[in-house]
Amino acid sequence: MLKSANKVIAIFLIALAIMYIFAAIRLPNYPYIPVDSEAVPITLGIILIILSIFLFFQKDNHDKKKIPKKDVTAILTVVGLILAYIMLLEFLGFFLSTALFLFVNTWIMGYRKWLSNLITSITIPLFIYLLFTQFLDIVLPRGILPF
């Protein structure tokens, strides 16, 4: 049944998504907020389950190709950056940690136009922060910034 790598990865991702959803359900509730803190994580977990189901039923080509060492290094670098982002999220806050993550990640992946990278890395988290805090009334970690 689990002869293809896609099926093994899909089952692993489904189990991970289920654990993620259960952890999201345990987040504390905030009074007087129309969209609570677990809304986005639960939605992301459901999306991961749906995409994992598609991956499970996707036909796997049987060509055993080796992943180039450069790609493995890039994947491990991104995983390390994600772990650093998770660890810094509460301390630095959503805006700073996301801007730093976006800038460093795109720089490491090879995008060298620092000005456009900096502008993008600042405007996207700012837009998301304002959208969540002002329009959806979702509390995001503030960190060391006063807003």
pLDDT of 54 higher than 90: yes
Tokens in use for 22? Answer: 């259960």
* CB proximity list for 101: less than 8 A, separation 6 or greater: 81, 82, 84, 85
- Distant-in-sequence, close-in-space partners of 49: CB < 8 Å, separation ≥ 6: 13, 14, 17, 18
Measure the CA–CA gap between 99 and 52, rounded to whole angstroms: 29
pLDDT at 38 over 80: no
What is the pTM assigned to this prediction? 0.62
Q: For 91-112, what is the mean pLDDT?
A: 88
Tell me if 121 sits within 8 A of 103, measured CB to CB: yes
